[in-house]
Amino acid sequence: MESLPDLGQGPEVFETSDVESLENLSLKSEEVVTHDIEIDNEDAKSAHARFEENTLVGLFDLVDFLGSLVAENLGRNTYHTRKWTETKAQRLARIAQELREIQEEDNEDADEAEKLRKILEALVQNRGLNGYLSGKLDAVFRQVENELAHCDFPQASDAEAQKDGPEETKNILQDSKVGLGVVLDLELRINELEQAIGVHEMSQATNLALHMRDLDRKVNVLYNPEYEMDTMKTKVSELNKELETYAKTTRMAQLALPDNARASQSRELTQKIAAHSSVFEKKLDTVYEKLGEIESMKARLPAVISRLRSLHETHSDLATAVSIVGQLDDNLETLKRDLQSWNDSLDTVRTAINQHAVAFDDRLRETETKLQQMEARVEALL
């Protein structure tokens, strides 16, 4: 078959219009669903929450993806993932939770300590109100009030006593003596109350202040963790054992002595006891003879002691005042010496100034004389 001359022998080419090509491009290609490729349709937030604890190990190392079989590159042919033990946000949340728990524990401890303190204060207050000394003081104060209510104190002046007659003067003097006796009795009772309460800090007698300090010390010992009661009990038991051992040893030593030695010792002991008893009886007889004076002075002795204490305080104040006056005298003497030294210095300065003034006047006169002579020479030359 002969080929036609107008027809080419090349491949056939089919041309399409531009409109058809644009329409074909605008059409969306259908996605072919295959089961060989796994496609995860995950949201960004869920993926962040899922992979926030994972990290890549090979970010800062060179990773070889060429599949080299060299021993050095076997562990670096891909990225490796590693899981964090705790993220930054989780760590901060954990620290905040621990701080809140610690603060709650501190608040609970403070509340319990405050509750215990209130209970202790209530116990101490109730014990002080209902104690033996408080009841005794209440009874004494009631007795004093009753005595004051029944007592009538006379009020009489010296002028009225002079105007009245001798009989009225005697009556007034008797009433004044009765009033003085009541006042002295009242002062003795006030002194007893002061001793019971414990006004003076240096008083060693049993009083309310010492009792309260003793109770405070005992409570502090009981509630002080530094003092361990078990250790104290152990030491006391050890001392008791040592005392029992010493008593047994002494008894065995006495039994080991012969009869003659024990008899001689018993005779010496009897003589010592007899001598001691005779001396004691003499002292007892002397005290019995002075018992009347002791009873009479017993009522006035506390008031005298209190007045002596006040006198001692006055003497101490006077001694302090005397020492202060002595210090002032020393300071005045020091000031006088300083003023004298200043006066001497001023006199020396004044003398030096006068000498310099005299020397300056002499030099001034000499200078004026030389100037006059120089002016005369200059005029003569002119």
Q: Helices (H), strands (E): how many in the chain?
A: 11, 2
Q: Percentage of the chain surpassing pLDDT 70?
A: 52
pLDDT at 121 over 60: yes
187 class by beta-carbon count within 10 Å (0-12 exposed, 13-18 middle, 19+ buried): middle
Lowest mean pLDDT among 4-8, 48-52, 303-307: 4-8
Q: At what angle do helices 291-298 and 259-289 cross, to 10 degrees?
A: 60
pLDDT at 349 over 80: yes
**Where in the chain are the domains?**
131-225, 347-382
pLDDT at 161 over 50: no
Q: How far apart are CA 80 and CA 57, in angstroms?
A: 5
How many Cα atoms sit within 13 Å of 195 on the Cβ side?
14
β-bridge mates for residue 54, sequence order: 83
Q: State pTM to two decimals.
A: 0.23
3-state secondary structure of 54: strand
pLDDT in tens, 259-291: 555 555 556 666 666 666 677 777 777 777 777
pLDDT at 16 over 80: no
Structure tokens at 296: 């009479």
- Cβ 26 vs Cβ 44: under 8 Å: no
* Distance, C-alpha 134 to centroid of its chain: 31
Q: Strands 54-56 and 81-83, how do they pair?
A: antiparallel
Name the region of 198 (left: φ>0; alpha: ψ -120 to 50; beta: rest).
left
Residues 6 or more apart whose CB falls under 8 angstroms from that of 160 comprise: 172
Q: Which H or E element spans position 82? A: strand 81-83
Structure tokens at 177: 């003596």
The pLDDT confidence band at residue 153, using thresholds 50, 70 and 90, is very low
